[in-house]
Amino acid sequence: MAALNDVLLRWSPWQLLLCFAIVAGSVAASLWAILSPRRPPGASASALVVDVAAIGSGTSAMWRSSWSGVRPAWLLASRAAAVVALAGVLLWDALTYDLTIMMYYTEWTFMLEIVYFVIATMFSAYGCFIYSNHHHRVTMLPESDESLLSNSLMETNHGADQKGGAGLYLGRLMQIVYQVCGGSVVLTDVIFWALIVPFMYSAHFSLNAVMVCIHSFNLVFLLIETTLNSLVVKIKLNKLYAQAISFRITYFVLFCIPQEFPWFRMTYFVLWTCSYVIIQWVAHVCGLTW
């Protein structure tokens, strides 16, 4: 109660009401956008569904690269390396300070990104298994007939997607986490490097190695993932690969979500941020400090 009284003394009623209204309004608008029935692409006007997760990409998009020369094993290696590196940096962060550091938004986002890469690694391992089986079936193909393997893989995965199952729902969860990470990682790193470091750098705040890693590794690995995965629409431009990669990264940084996903799914990022704010309020009211 003492902590609650301190909060009430520092904040006037209209400030409290304004904060509550902003958070409550954001949560309500996000839930409305997610649960509103909408028509899938190419469907008739009467075909409305409630899109609670993601419509569109099947499970094959979770482990296939958008670049034809990149095999699933390379994507698997990239994702597994991200899990190890991010988990190591997070452990380093916790040992440098203490477990109360996990109450910060950056650490929340860091843990969520690790969850994404763990799920993505599982899909990539499954994809390598599928790819290996089909590669053994379609052997001794001339280079010009390599597309037969790709078509065979697409047909098999399309059939698996139609059956649904746990894999499809896990894939939808992976898409949601990917989008939330996109918004939150860009938000935290931009605020840290553009606002905190230039304007708050002093004797009371100085950079160290763990701060630099925690506010850079998250974006670096997510940009690598965005460049390689198939969760964004393919770039069909007769340009150099470097130009296509630059386009994908620039789009991700500016808009925080892949092109294939409808804009309303930014609401998952809003819900994530509002949940963090609410939990922080509860923690402060209960007298927790860090």
For the cut 70, the answer to whether the pLDDT of residue 121 exceeds it is yes
Residue range 60-81, pLDDT digits in tens: 778 888 787 888 899 999 999 9
pLDDT of residue 125: 93
Query: Residues 256-267: pLDDT tens digits?
Result: 444 445 566 788
Q: What is the pTM of this model?
A: 0.78
Domain boundaries, the chain: 53-259
CA dist 152 and 15 (Å) reads 60
State the Cα–Cα distance between residues 46 and 86, nearest whole angstrom: 45
For the cut 70, the answer to whether the pLDDT of residue 200 exceeds it is yes
pLDDT at residue number 7: 54
Q: How far apart are CA 262 and CA 251, in angstroms?
A: 14
**Ordered DSSP codes for 50-93:** E-SS--S--GGGGT-BSSTT--HHHHHHHHHHHHHHHHHHHHHH
CB 161 within 8 A of CB 59: yes
Q: How confident is the model at residue 231 (pLDDT cuts 50, 70, 90)?
A: confident
Q: 159-185: per-residue pLDDT in tens?
A: 544 445 667 788 888 988 998 998 999
